[in-house]
Chains A and B, each alone.
Chain A
Amino acid sequence: MEINLEEQFQAKIEQEIKIEPRDWMPEKYRKTLLRQISQHAHSEIVGMLPEGNWITRAPNLRRKVALLAKVQDEAGHGLYLYSAAETLGMSRDQMLEELHTGKAKYSSIFNYPTLTWADMGAIGWLVDGAAIMNQVPLCRTSYGPYARAMVRVCKEESFHQRQGYEIMLTLCKGSEAQKAMAQDALNRWWWPSIMMFGPNDDNSPNSAQSMKWKIKRFSNDELRQKFIDVTVSQTEILGLTIPDKDLKWNESRGHYDFGTINWEEFNNVVAGKGPCNKERLNARVKAWENGAWVRDAATAYAEKRANKKNNSTEAA
């Protein structure tokens, strides 16, 4: 019976029929998705912090409003994604518990510090750009609620990326100090951004299964290559230099070759040793703990209201 269900499930995947919350699914498919979507939701929420760091210091009102709206969008993405993940049988509070105890991960890119205003440009351009490369294929992912959430997320992300690039462009057209600030931001965000695509394919044990289930449609290395290929020309327009001396066009491959990624750094940051891992997690835990009395009060008030309503209905 089990084999039959699994065959039917795989047949649906092959026919590009979306899997919905009430459909039968292999336990491992559910777990893989739950891990991936909740991780993605956590990344949105933790991702609010490095950019949130500059809201009160944005250089003018137009930029302040745009940044505030952008960080707010990320909170919104977190909401859609937590809702999508909840359809797989775990509550938002449980997911947050896993984030706060360090059991669940989030994207390592957010463990780097935002030091200058140019980082708001670099994050929008590179980090959101890399995220879009990863996320556009997810709009067609096999799990319906995730795919639908990603359609909304992607629309907003591409707007954020343009906004980030426009910040970089303004800096690069500006003074020497502004241009140096932009180059410095590119230097610091380049390698972490291309690490966002995850380990090399031969080092990514879960990828094959996720491809078979059409959770993933392209491999880490394919997406990374695609990102580098499109970003090089964008960098040239800015007049900036990508900090990789091995980066050059390879005519026979039809792609850019690039230098070796420092996987030791990647593994360290994943393992909690990035420059801001502790600050990010502490900020989330602090917000959650300081908010406990507010959530408790809201619940208590809602209960009082419900009781009052019941009593008055009974009386009537």
Chain B
Amino acid sequence: MDQKEVLFDYILHLADNSMIIGQRNSEWCGHGPVLEQDIALTNIALDLIGEARSLYQYAAEIKGGNCTEDSLPFLRDIREFRNLLLVEQPNTDWAYTIVRQFFFDVFHYLVNKDILDNSNDLRLKEIAAKTIKESTYHLKWSSEWVIRLGDGTDISKLKMQTAVDDLWDFTGELFILSETEQKAMDLGFGADLKKAEQLWHEKVKEILNEACLTIPSTDFAQQGGKTGIHSEHFGYILAEMQFMQRAYPGLEW
């Protein structure tokens, strides 16, 4: 991989993360537990898909040719997506959605913070500067919900602990460097995940403690998303998301 290819692949990883969790969150729109939170989660989905758009636009410019902000999410197949397994996990219920969002938000915030502070790629820094404002709010929102539901009723505590235990297996992957991430770091534009890992664990521990939830003791990590080995859920996300572009190729909408 030359530098351009590394940059392209790295941007896709960032973009796919935000795109797919945004797509998942948008499934909630109109079905939330209370109107205010339906609006809040939709806002988060809007921010994340908006960020993905900026990143896909950048990636499309690097790639050139027919590549666009839409061809990247709508015309790649499952093996070409670079997102974390965590973000493609089903909504299941409000507890899973909140825990998934919280684990992602801490990661998303730290990655963007490091890009903003240290990356040598100006365009990535620019996008991160906007993203960090949004992800600061997302993290506040999801942390508050983790605490509220963990320290709410017996039922909510149980549901939250179950979600934490189940989704924990997907958090190890966050910090297992793919070849692209390693190179992106070496080349000076990618985030330093070693530093992020420690901060991630500190923040997660702080919030789960406050929420009276237990951190799972296992350090087993499901992995594969970053290299395109996804869960079976993912094919259905794409089937839905890409339906129009597949059924009516090459048209303007």
Contact = CB atoms under 8 A, between A and B. Distances in A.
Interface stretch (A10-18, A124-132, A252-260, A287-295): A287-295
A308 B32 CA distance: 29
B156 A72 contact: no
Contacts of A170: 252-253
Contact of A68 (B37, B49, B70): B49
B152 A65 contact: no
A42 to B, nearest CB: 12
A79 B35 CA distance: 7
A68 B26 contact: yes
B209 to A, nearest CB: 16
A90 interface: no
B218 interface: no
A69 B49 CA distance: 11
Nearest to A44: B35
Contacts of A294: 33-34, 37, 94, 149, 156
Interface string A157-178: 0000000000100110111011
Nearest to A53: B30
Interface stretch (B76-84, B100-108, B174-182, B240-248): B240-248
B156 A293 contact: yes
A79 B39 contact: yes
A64 interface: yes
Contact of A301 (B31, B52, B151, B241): B151
Given A68-B45, A75-B42, A79-B39, A59 B253 contact: yes
Given A71-B29, A72-B39, A291 B253 contact: no
Contacts, number: 138
A298 B152 contact: yes
A293 B248 contact: no
A3 interface: no
B198 interface: no
Interface of A: 45, 48-49, 52, 55-65, 68-69, 71-72, 75-76, 78-79, 82, 117, 167, 170-171, 173-175, 177-178, 283, 286-287, 290-298, 300-301, 304
Given A291-B34, A294-B34, 6 more contacts: A59-B251, A61-B73, A63-B253, A79-B39, A291-B94, A296-B152
Interface of B: 23, 26-27, 29-39, 42-43, 45-46, 49-50, 52-53, 56, 69-70, 73-74, 93-94, 147-149, 151-153, 155-156, 159, 240-241, 243-245, 248, 251-253
4 smallest CB-CB distances across A and B, nearest first, come from A291-B33, A297-B152, A297-B156, A59-B244
